[in-house]
Amino acid sequence: MHSRTGNLPELVRADEKRLRQILINLLGNAVKFTREGQVSFRVDYSREMARFEIEDTGPGMSEAELIQVFEPFVRGTAAGGNASSGTGLGLTISRMLTGLMGGELTVRSQPGAGSCFAVKLYLPELRARASQRARPELLRRTGYLGARQRLLVVDNEEDDRRLLVERLVPLGFELLQAESGEAALALLAHERVDAVFLDLAMPGIDGWTTLRRLREQGLGALPAAIVSANAFDKALENDLGIRPQDFLVKPVRMAELLAWLQQRLALQWVHAEPDEAPASAPASLPPPAETLRALDELVRLGYLRGIQKKLDAIDADHPASAPFVANLRALARGFQLDTLAHLIAAALADAAVATPKEATDAP
């Protein structure tokens, strides 16, 4: 097997388990079909977009095979026309996981000339110092120094607007909202703001057109961030001075949001003292283990809307768990699914310890 990489960052933010599974599936598939020749693994990284390529010199695929290569339980054919071994789910799972990470998995192939699978993912570089990673409580911000900043959120989705409002208002920002590009232009004709967040895909005029008209109205110096659900928008070229670091991918991560505000508005943050940091788990009664396990499955899937609905149901069915649920809800709202999973696992472990042995041994 040959490998080649370009200039890669030391650290990126990614779902390590999903990415590992994708690459293992693709590499295993390539090795299985390559009886002669080689398998090449290449990684390229540019503008926070990573591209992984796994290319083999196996038998390749016909157009008919390419059409259904990602279908479940479909097995390719090795040289000589014999169906390959295995469940036929490896490529299906790889494509599903890639989609869950907001990326794309493609393939090109020709009979007798091998195949090349390519995974494209948005993997932002992490530049935090080791000392900061070791003591995350020192990074918790409670506000900023100086005059109050006014921000405008332009998005046709109320939930997305509310998410930014709920995150930024507690830090001392004043938030204005507009549900369309037209509404934003009308508002800015008589209101002053210090920065604007623009969704790209909106009915009426899109984010690019809105920004272009703002520039034409003499607001060229207004700091603007593009907020998009499509990670590949980050790589788009434009003539409006929007840099890759001015793109925020939905769901917007708090660290990226605050880093952008700090850089564009020259903010000096006020940090909480370490002893002000909240406890990692509330001192309240968790819901029953069966309920926690159902919630844990949704967390592992990363299904945010399902998690929120399940927490609503727990609130209704188990009022005594309200403080515990409130903590989990805050974590879900901040997309801190790893921390949420750890709290659920700890609660399940406590429940297992508290269960009498005779009860667990009962038929």
Q: Residue ranges of the domains in the chain?
A: 2-122, 130-274, 278-357
pLDDT tier at 246, thresholds 50, 70, 90:
confident
Share of the chain above pLDDT 70, in %: 77
Is 0.95 surpassed by the pTM of this model?
Answer: no
Please state whether beta strands 104-109 and 195-199 pair in parallel, antiparallel, or not at all (unpaired): unpaired
Q: Tokens 């490896």 — which residue?
A: 90
CATH architecture of the domain formed by 2-122:
2-Layer Sandwich (3.30)
Kindly state which CATH superfamily the domain 130-274 is placed in. Answer: Response regulator (3.40.50.2300)
Please state whether beta strands 150-154 and 174-178 pair in parallel, antiparallel, or not at all (unpaired): parallel
pLDDT tier at 118, thresholds 50, 70, 90:
very high
Work out the burial of residue 294: count CB atoms within 10 Å of its CB; fewer than 13 is exposed, 13-18 middle, 19 or more buried. middle
Q: Which two tokens stand for residue 101?
A: 């990470």
Return the pLDDT at 282.
41
Q: Tokens 């949001």 — which residue?
A: 257
Return the pLDDT at 323.
80
Amino acid at 86: G
Return the pLDDT at 30.
87
- What are the pLDDT digits (tens) for 171-195? 899 999 999 989 999 998 888 999 9
Return the pLDDT at 340.
77
Please tell me the distance from the alpha carbon of residue 276 to that of residue 7, in angstroms, as a whole number. 40
Please tell me the distance from the alpha carbon of residue 175 to that of residue 166, in angstroms, as a whole number. 10
pLDDT tier at 43, thresholds 50, 70, 90:
very high
Please tell me the distance from the alpha carbon of residue 154 to that of residue 133, in angstroms, as a whole number. 33
- What are the pLDDT digits (tens) for 6-18? 578 888 888 887 8
Does the pLDDT value for residue 78 go beyond 60? no
pLDDT tier at 273, thresholds 50, 70, 90:
low
Return the pLDDT at 47.
81
pLDDT tier at 42, thresholds 50, 70, 90:
very high
Return the pLDDT at 326.
83
What average pLDDT is seen over the chain?
A: 78
